[in-house]
Chain A
Amino acid sequence: DVKVTQSSRYLVKRTGEKVFLECVQDMDHENMFWYRQDPGLGLRLIYFSYDVKMKEKGDIPEGYSVSREKKERFSLILESASTNQTSMYLCASGRTEYNEQFFGPGTRLTVL
């Protein structure tokens, strides 16, 4: 089975802190994604990566950056956390075939 793990299930940070969310997949997938999920807004793509060191902006990249130094790991960085970044963050990985994606359990981030 594909396994996608995220470093924390719940995280509480203060405004202005730098926040790292880590995601690791064990199936040698080329593609990795970061989404945020908010009530009534569905899933919104923040960034994705189709290869090591390659990244592309999604629909809402402002306030976020990403890093992919190794194929299995994709990190989401909030340079200076703000309260409007309080959300559920979901990581996914997948192959190019069919655009299929496999999700991690999510990180619920609260910024105070």
Chain B
Amino acid sequence: AQSVTQLGSHVSVSEGALVLLRCNYSSSVPPYLFWYVQYPNQGLQLLLKYTSAATLVKGINGFEAEFKKSETSFHLTKPSAHMSDAAEYFCAVSKSDSNYQLIWGAGTKLIIKP
């Protein structure tokens, strides 16, 4: 069965430090990949998506992610963390036998230390 694994339910970084949130997926066909962000008591907002064009994808708020087929990874990075980045981040992959559904990772809470 397809799966999405996000390493670390909580990641803590200092303000100004590099943010790295890890996502590994399994898929039998070339996938579409997504990162979403959720601020407290809000819905999910799309950060960026990979749809088989460029492997390095730039998103909103200075985030980017790189699709690495050989590693089945789609890690999210930001060069310098800001306090406003504190949120929960979800990685998702298109379900291979569906035109509609996504398979979701469990989420990673990003904590920013002052």
**Partner-B contacts on A (CB < 8 A):** 4, 9, 31, 33, 40, 42-43, 45, 48, 50, 90, 92, 94, 96, 98-106, 108
B100–A42 contact, CB under 8 A?
no
Do A98 and B43 contact each other (CB < 8 Å), given the known contacts A31-B100, A42-B90?
Answer: no
Instruction: Identify whether the interface residues of A are mostly helix, strand, loop, or mixed.
Output: strand
Per-residue A-contact encoding for B84-114, CB less than 8 Å = 1, 0 else: 0000001000110011111011110000000
A48–B90 contact, CB under 8 A?
no
B105–A103 contact, CB under 8 A?
no
Q: Report how far A42 CA is from B43 CA in the complex, Å.
A: 13
Q: Report how far A98 CA is from B36 CA in the complex, Å.
A: 15
A96–B42 contact, CB under 8 A?
no
Per-residue A-contact encoding for B21-54, CB less than 8 Å = 1, 0 else: 0000000000010101000011111100101000
Cβ of B50 to closest chain A Cβ, rounded Å: 9
Do A45 and B45 contact each other (CB < 8 Å), given the known contacts A98-B51, A98-B94, A99-B94?
Answer: no
Q: Report how far A31 CA is from B105 CA in the complex, Å.
A: 21
B42–A105 contact, CB under 8 A?
yes
A104–B43 contact, CB under 8 A?
yes
Do A100 and B46 contact each other (CB < 8 Å), given the known contacts A42-B90, A42-B105?
Answer: yes
